[in-house]
Amino acid sequence: MKKIKPLIVLGSLLIALTLIIPAVLVLPFSGEHRASGKLGEDIIKKAGSPAKETQAAVSAADPAVEVAVFRSAKSKIENVPLEDYLVGVVAAEMPVEFKEEALKAQALTARTYIVKRLLTKDTLGAPKGSQVTDTPIHQAYKSDDQLKKDWGAKYDEKRKKILAAVRATSGQVLTYKGEVIQAQFFSTSNGYTENSEDYWSGTYPYLRSVSSPWDKSSPKFNFQKVFSIKDFETRLGVKIGSGGTLGKVVEKTTGKRVGKVDFNGKVLTGKEIREKLDLRSSDFAWERKGNNIVITTKGFGHGVGMSQYGANGMAAEGADYKKIVKHYYQGVEITSAETMLATLTAQK
């Protein structure tokens, strides 16, 4: 999801998935060897910057806009009414068991994301003729038939809950100084979100690092992967040697993730390491145990924008969806998209 570009265009993602051989999952690592080396640190810290909250909320009905969704499994395009599309996105992106206010926050960010793409005619990463795919490279989406299969006897109950969240935010989008924002979101933070420029190239004043302590209760907060030393070196294109320090962290981000690691003169960013090793997060540490490298990560996702588990934690403490989105997107307003969407409808 970028303009800020998508994490990777669809084609690159598919190629990467076929090339990368999954590492052995061990949680926790149960090898007999003691740690004989680990990732060191030698960093200069950067300061963060808070921002203000603003007050605004306007409700309006979602007009008859359709979204051209490329269905990956079928390799075909389906034109889906906006409301149905949003129900399918929220259902695919967030557990239906989450609190109602968290689901509303997800519905609002999902609408903001797709409206931004429609208004700017952004089709990056989507096959010709479509506007988005149904994968997380844009927004995950499940059709009504898929939801019936997934939910079985509880389909009516669960769909009603998600539909209520979509309709409670109907016609609303997030804006910053009158412009629809890049509504990034992810699963679980490491306790903080990221500044946009610490993960992507673009600096966005509303995508600032904020604290997100609620994520620590997420089942995805801690994770561990194990690589052979040879696999680790091959993927990163480095030699770690036999010393006690296996690379040195020389920069950290405002969101307390790894910014850069120096391997005896070869410097890789935390994002590059995350992608090359297919890690859940760029907040990582590692140590050598025998012939293996054991990597521990905190959080799940790129870390920019709204944390979904953080949103649910806020909702559990009584925050409504407006407070949630204004925490994760600094300085934004909740604005009526009625005129914007009416323009899109008139263009057809």
The two three-digit tokens of residue 170, written as one number: 């109907």
Instruction: Summarize the confidence of residues 109-117 as an average pLDDT.
Output: 97
Predicted local distance difference test score (pLDDT) of residue 242: 80
- SS3 (DSSP) at 88: helix
* Amino acid at position 292, single letter: N
The two three-digit tokens of residue 183, written as one number: 């509504």
Alpha-carbon distances, residue 3 vs 172, 207, 285 (angstroms): 21, 13, 30
Cα–Cα distance, 171 to 154 (Å, whole number): 28
Cα–Cα distance, 196 to 207 (Å, whole number): 6
289-318 confidence digits (pLDDT tens): 999 999 999 999 999 999 999 999 999 999
All residues at 6 or more sequence positions from 216 whose CB lies less than 8 Å from its CB, including other chains: 191
* Amino acid at position 97, single letter: E
| CB distance 92 to 142 below 8 Å | yes
16-69 confidence digits (pLDDT tens): 444 443 433 334 454 555 565 677 676 644 444 333 333 333 444 566 799 999
Cα–Cα distance, 310 to 187 (Å, whole number): 8
Instruction: Summarize the confidence of residues 164-187 as an average pLDDT.
Output: 97
Q: What is the DSSP letter of 3?
A: T
Read off the pLDDT band of 341 (50, 70, 90). Answer: confident
- SS3 (DSSP) at 112: helix
Predicted local distance difference test score (pLDDT) of residue 63: 63
Cα–Cα distance, 185 to 300 (Å, whole number): 11
Predicted local distance difference test score (pLDDT) of residue 24: 36
| CB distance 282 to 260 below 8 Å | no
Backbone angles phi, psi at 312, to 5 degrees: -70, -35
Lowest mean pLDDT among 22-26, 117-121, 246-250, 253-257: 22-26
Instruction: Summarize the confidence of residues 251-277 as an average pLDDT.
Output: 97
Our separate counts of H helices and E strands in the chain read 10, 16
What is the secondary structure of 309-331 as a DSSP string? Answer: HHHHHHHHTT--HHHHHHHHSTT
204-227 confidence digits (pLDDT tens): 999 999 999 999 999 999 999 999
What average pLDDT does the structure give for the chain? 87
135-151 confidence digits (pLDDT tens): 999 999 999 999 999 99
What is the secondary structure of 169-208 as a DSSP string? Answer: TTTEEEEETTEE----EESB-SSBPBPGGGTSS---TTS-
The two three-digit tokens of residue 289, written as one number: 């145990």
Q: Which residue has the higher pLDDT, 55 or 1?
A: 1
